[in-house]
Chains A and B, each alone.
Chain A
Amino acid sequence: KQEVTQIPAALSVPEGENLVLNCSFTDSAIYNLQWFRQDPGKGLTSLLLIQSSQREQTSGRLNASLDKSSGRSTLYIAASQPGDSATYLCADYNNAGNMLTFGGGTRLMVKP
């Protein structure tokens, strides 16, 4: 059974800092991996999808990497802003591509 773990569970940083969020998964036979953002009381916003054949994806100040052999993914946020404050979730697709297993999330607070 796939398990996804995110460390740290919570993180508080001053504005402007670069930061890394970590995600690990137990079964390397994943299909794809996706990073989401969730604001309090809201739905999920997709940030980046990394296909199993890829090693990283970039969008603006965000960069996500995937290392299947070690069972890890990281989300790098450059020059953090208060508007980045949210919970960040990673989730991997099972090898059929039809079920997401979510980590518990990292709650990020960026202080002005």
Chain B
Amino acid sequence: NAGVMQNPRHLVRRRGQEARLRCSPMKGHSHVYWYRQLPEEGLKFMVYLQKENIIDESGMPKERFSAEFPKEGPSILRIQQVVRGDSAAYFCASSPRVEPYEQYFGPGTRLTVT
């Protein structure tokens, strides 16, 4: 059973470009979570999704950031018009629908904005 997969592992974008980060959950997992780790800071929750639904986006910046988890395919975290402050490691986690809802993390995507 493959773990949570994220791609790309490293992404370089110039200011103003768009970044798309992909996350494929573990087989059988229907819940996906995105977290961000800014340089020298802790991990912070961004958004929680189930298939075709955003359940909690309380940690998402109000502008330029969006997330989706379509019926088919991976979850996508999209950052429009990136700025240098978006440079960070973005981690995806997935969990099954049953308790204790343990989250399993992917290897992360390291975004660098130049």
What is the interface of chain A, defined by CB distance below 8 A to chain B? Answer: 31-32, 34, 36, 41-46, 49, 51, 89, 91, 93, 97-105
Contacts and interface: CB of A to CB of B under 8 A. Distances in A.
Interface of B: 31, 33, 35, 42-45, 48, 55-56, 58-59, 91, 93, 99-108, 110
B100 A97 contact: yes
A100 B45 contact: yes
Contact of B42 (A45, A93, A98, A105): A105
A32 B100 contact: yes
A34 B33 CA distance: 16
B90 to A, nearest CB: 11
A2 to B, nearest CB: 10
A103 B99 CA distance: 23
A101 B101 CA distance: 15
A93 B101 contact: yes
Main secondary structure of the interface of B (DSSP, over half): strand
27 contacts: A31-B100, A31-B101, A32-B100, A34-B103, A36-B105, A41-B110, A42-B107, A43-B91, A43-B106, A43-B107, A43-B108, A44-B91, A46-B104, A89-B42, A91-B43, A97-B99, A97-B100, A98-B31, A98-B33, A98-B48, A98-B56, A99-B45, A99-B59, A100-B35, A100-B45, A102-B44, A103-B42
Nearest to B47: A99
Nearest to B55: A98
B24 to A, nearest CB: 14
| From B31, B33, B42, B48, residue with most partner A Cβ within 10 Å | B42
B44 A99 contact: no
Given A43-B91, A43-B108, A97 B101 contact: yes
Given A98-B56, A102-B43, A103-B42, A34 B102 contact: yes
Contacts of B35: 100, 102
B100 A51 contact: yes
